[in-house]
Amino acid sequence: MSPHDGQSAVTVLGLGPMGRALAGAFLDSGLRTTVWNRTPGRERELVERGAIGARSAQEAVAASALTVLCVVDYDAADAVLRPDAVAGALKGRTVVNLSADTPARARSTAAWAAGHGIGYLDGAIMTPTTTIGTPAAVFIHSGPQGLYREHRPVLDALGGTHTHLGEEIGRAAAYDIALLDVFWTAMAGYAHALAVARAEGVTARELAPFAQGIGAILPPLFEQLAEGVDGGSFSGEGNPLTSAVSSMAHIVHTSEGHGIDAGVMRAAEGMARRAIGLGHGEDGFVRIAEVLGRR
């Protein structure tokens, strides 16, 4: 181990926009930061700011007790970590994998790491690159509690909030998938709404303040509905599924009347009609969560 090992050193593998933001925050906090990326050149600005540019992933991981990996997905993570030379250099050290992928991939990577004597924590970043190093950054983690506690001081250099969600290694990815599901389905609805509004002569600018109002309805609903959903009750008081489908049908008709694909709304309407067909017309929209989960 080099004299720089320990809590004052960190390695970042993967220097896409997010990896560069992470490495930049580590540098700003004064940590000795070693960086490496598959394609050379992306480390240049970080090296100018004081980072150590390693010539290989093996050299990079050997420089620190903790390696933070942030690449596009776990195929890329495997390509970086699993060559024998890198795995050998990681033995007895720890990887925090902040690349996004599925809970199943997190579990298989953890099993591989355990088989090679490598400490492994999985995590996800829930906010954009601009938040890294600021109080607005949000990180979630899962894996061995002791390992998390040991490396938390280094992770704190990334700013924001860090939440350890449990020892089950797939848990951070499970949260990530669920939260991205909320995000992308909402964005798909928004993009579709913009197309329909535009066909009706309404600009995105004109719609924006009202769209914000609609968006603001959601956060309190997440809180209000949570206990009922967990307890198996799906009250439709004030907005039963029967009423929701009629509102959705208007969107489908307007959209298709303009020749605009209504697939996003048809999928949602289809789920609601299935729940009604199963006798849940008086329940609220979240009954769909239970119906979808039925085998």
Q: What angle do CA 67, 72, 73 make, to 5 degrees?
A: 85
Strands (E), 1-144: 9-13, 32-36, 52-53, 66-69, 94-97, 119-125, 138-142
Q: Which residue has the tokens 């960190």?
A: 10
Among the candidate windows 12-20, 24-32, 107-115, 193-201, which touches ligand NDP by CB under 6 A? 12-20
Among the candidate windows 44-52, 74-82, 110-118, 197-205, which touches ligand NDP by CB under 6 A? 74-82
Distance (Å, rounded) from C-alpha 251 to C-alpha 266?
Answer: 9
Site string for ligand NDP, 88-117 (x = CB under 6 A): -----------xx-----------------
* Closest residue to ligand NDP: CB criterion: 16
Distance (Å, rounded) from C-alpha 285 to C-alpha 273?
Answer: 11
| 178 touches ligand NDP (CB under 6 A) | no
Handedness of CA 177, 178, 180, 186 (dihedral sign): positive
Instruction: Pick the binder of ligand NDP from 63, 125, 265, 275 (CB under 6 A).
Output: 125
User: Read out DSSP for 40-86?
Assistant: TTTTHHHHHTT-EE-SSHHHHHHT-SEEEE--SSHHHHHHHH-SHHH
Instruction: Pick the binder of ligand NDP from 128, 153, 228, 263 (CB under 6 A).
Output: 128
Comparing CB distances to ligand NDP, the nearer of 38 and 198 is 38
| 70 touches ligand NDP (CB under 6 A) | yes
In this structure, what DSSP letter does residue 161 have?
Answer: E
Comparing CB distances to ligand NDP, the nearer of 51 and 286 is 51
Instruction: Pick the binder of ligand NDP from 12, 25, 68, 76 (CB under 6 A).
Output: 76
Among the candidate windows 66-74, 162-170, 190-198, 224-232, which touches ligand NDP by CB under 6 A? 66-74
> Looking at this protein, which amino acid is placed at residue 253?
H
Q: 280 with 244: CB under 8 angstroms?
A: no
| 68 touches ligand NDP (CB under 6 A) | no
Comparing CB distances to ligand NDP, the nearer of 99 and 109 is 99
| 33 touches ligand NDP (CB under 6 A) | no
Instruction: Pick the binder of ligand NDP from 11, 36, 42, 119 (CB under 6 A).
Output: 42
| 72 touches ligand NDP (CB under 6 A) | yes
Among the candidate windows 111-119, 122-130, 197-205, 257-265, which touches ligand NDP by CB under 6 A? 122-130
* Tokens standing for residue 190: 């928004």
Estimate to the nearest angstrom the gap between the alpha carbon of 21 and the chain centroid.
Answer: 16
Distance (Å, rounded) from C-alpha 168 to C-alpha 148?
Answer: 13
Q: SS3 for 94?
A: strand
| 162 touches ligand NDP (CB under 6 A) | no
Comparing CB distances to ligand NDP, the nearer of 15 and 95 is 15
Instruction: Pick the binder of ligand NDP from 11, 34, 37, 109 (CB under 6 A).
Output: 37
| 18 touches ligand NDP (CB under 6 A) | yes
Contacts of 20 (CB under 8 A, 6+ apart): 42, 45, 46, 129
Q: Helix, strand, coil: what percent of the chain each, to 5?
A: 55, 15, 30
Q: SS3 for 162?
A: strand
Return residues touching ligand NDP (CB under 6 A): 14-19, 37-39, 42, 70-73, 76, 79-80, 99-100, 125, 128-129
